[in-house]
């Protein structure tokens, strides 16, 4: 009798174990089934184009791979002075644009976070350029910069200032090259991109400011801390995760910039505003160098990846999450 009872208990235990395993298998299968559409989309529209582009970069491509040339396109790119010039122009644009956007965005966000009249309307007004069509807004700004009919030059004339060729001139043309500074066209483009993207920075900074506990400010005020002390010792440290996120996104965005500069200047005057993305585009669609443009794309990707890793190493440890 005891043996029969033990056998029944063992069978029941095995049955329960099999049932649990079957349920676990069904849950895992359901999870993979739900993930399958996203995985297929990633494979088809992300990974396949990347590896196919890498294959094109190793070929002399004429609608198909006419000849496998290995790393010759990459070697040619590293010996191409125009490629280095486009990367340098992109780096200068990023070095000026990123601090300008983040600094201006932080100041405006801090002001809009205060209890002022109409702050909701100001928040919408600053964010509106970010959601405007890039091509449309760039075309409008190109017209504003027009030397003959542009509103900006018309305003300068009213105050007695000579009109400027905003998208067609350099600063300091009589100075040595090392002292000329950034081209006027690049500065004009910087003004436009700051106008367009600062609203996004303001919105993210406002979200970060809203997550800072007000008790910290109240306690510091009890101890006699002033506004500048509060900003330096509480606001800035606790905004560091938000600032770090915006820094990484802004650097990546500036190195990928294409639409607006193509509409406004197409890299001109000369090659003064020829960013890396524009140089890749010209090699692809103007000179039909498909393999070479693919190699340039991977070099730009490597530059962005290295910059992102460096930012994570250099600034990531200084971010305050608590």
pLDDT at 2: 53
In this structure, the answer to whether residues 48 and 157 fall within a common structural domain is: no
- Domain of 265, CATH number, reads 1.10.3720.10
- Domain contains 66: no
Do 204 and 246 form a contact (C-beta atoms < 8 A)? yes
Domain of residue 221: give its range. Answer: 75-318
Same domain, 297 and 248: yes
Residue 74 is predicted with a pLDDT of: 96
pTM: 0.86
pLDDT for 118 beyond 90: no
Domain co-membership, 114 together with 31: no
How many distinct structural domains can be found in the chain?
2
Tell the residue number behind the tokens 């090392």, with chain if given: 178
Residue 153 lies in a domain: yes
16 and 146 part of one domain: no
226: left (phi over 0), alpha (psi -120 to 50) or beta: beta
- Quote the CA–CA distance of 185 and 192 in Å, as a whole number: 11
Residue 178 banded pLDDT, cuts 50, 70, 90: very low
Q: Is 274 left (phi over 0), alpha (psi -120 to 50) or beta?
A: beta
Q: Residues 92, 141: one domain?
A: yes
Look at residues 229, 244, 228, 234 and name the one whose alpha carbon lies nearest to residue 212.
234
At 218-248, the pLDDT tens digits run 888 888 888 788 888 889 989 999 999 999 9
Residue with the bigger pLDDT between 181 and 289: it is 289
Instruction: Look at residue 151 in the predicted model and tell me its pLDDT.
Output: 92
317: pLDDT confidence band, cut at 50, 70 and 90? Answer: confident
Neighbours of 162 (CB within 10 A): 7
Q: Are residues 208 and 296 in the same domain?
A: yes
Note whether 51 and 178 are same-domain residues. no
- Cα Rg of the chain, angstroms: 28
65 inside domain:
no
Mean pLDDT of the chain: 88
In the chain the first and final C-alpha atoms are separated, in Å, by: 64
Structure tokens at 33: 């089934």
> Do 128 and 168 belong together in one domain?
yes
CA distance 136 to 245: 28
The pLDDT of residue 218: 83
User: With bands split at pLDDT 50, 70 and 90, how would you rate the model's confidence at 71?
Assistant: very high
Report whether 251 contacts 307 (CB < 8 A).
yes
Could you tell me if residue 70 is inside a domain? no
pLDDT of residue 172: 45
Amino acid 181: pLDDT: 62
- Is residue 17 located within the same domain as residue 81? no
Percentage, residues of the chain above pLDDT 70: 89
Instruction: Please indicate, yes or no, if residue 64 is contained in any of the structural domains.
Output: no
Domain annotation covers residue 94? yes
**38 and 123 fall within a common domain:** no
The pLDDT of residue 175 is 47
Same structural domain for residues 180 and 297?
yes
Asked whether residue 32 is assigned to any structural domain, the reply reads yes
Q: Grade residue 20 by pLDDT with cuts at 50, 70 and 90.
A: confident
pLDDT band, very low/low/confident/very high, at 36 (cuts 50, 70, 90): very high
Which position has the higher pLDDT, 124 or 317? 124
In terms of domains, do 51 and 194 share one?
no
Q: Per the domain annotation, does 145 fall within a domain?
A: yes
pLDDT at 13 over 60: yes
% of residues, the chain, pLDDT over 90: 61
């Amino acid at each position: 009798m005891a043996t029969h009872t033990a056998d029944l208990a063992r069978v029941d235990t095995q049955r329960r174990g099999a049932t649990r395993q079957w349920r676990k298998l069904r849950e895992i299968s359901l999870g993979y089934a739900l993930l399958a559409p996203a995985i297929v989309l990633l494979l088809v529209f992300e990974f396949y184009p990347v590896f196919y582009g890498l294959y094109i970069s190793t070929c002399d491509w004429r609608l198909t791979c006419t000849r496998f040339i290995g790393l010759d396109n990459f070697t040619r790119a590293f010996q191409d002075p125009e490629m280095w010039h486009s990367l340098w122009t992109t780096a200068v644009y990023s070095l000026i644009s990123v601090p300008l956007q983040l600094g201006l965005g932080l100041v405006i966000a801090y002001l809009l976070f205060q209890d002022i009249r109409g702050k909701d309307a100001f928040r919408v007004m600053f964010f509106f350029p970010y959601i405007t069509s890039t091509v449309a807004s760039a075309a409008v700004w190109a017209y504003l910069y027009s030397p003959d009919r542009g509103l900006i030059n018309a305003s300068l004339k009213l105050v007695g200032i000579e009109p400027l060729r905003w998208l067609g001139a350099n600063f300091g043309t009589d100075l040595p090259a090392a002292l000329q500074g950034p081209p006027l066209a690049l500065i004009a483009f910087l003004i436009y991109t700051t106008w367009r993207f600062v609203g996004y920075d303001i919105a993210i900074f406002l979200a970060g400011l809203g997550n800072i506990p007000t008790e910290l400010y109240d306690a510091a005020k009890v101890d006699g801390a002033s506004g500048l002390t509060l900003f330096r010792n509480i606001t800035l440290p606790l905004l560091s995760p938000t600032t770090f996120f915006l820094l990484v996104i802004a650097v990546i965005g500036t190195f990928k910039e294409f639409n607006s500069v193509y509409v406004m200047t197409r890299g001109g005057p000369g090659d003064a505003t020829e960013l890396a993305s524009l140089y890749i585009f010209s090699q692809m669609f103007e000179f039909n160098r498909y393999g070479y443009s693919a190699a340039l794309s991977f070099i730009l990707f490597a530059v962005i990846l290295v910059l992102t890793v460096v930012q994570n190493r250099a600034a990531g440890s200084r971010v305050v999450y608590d």
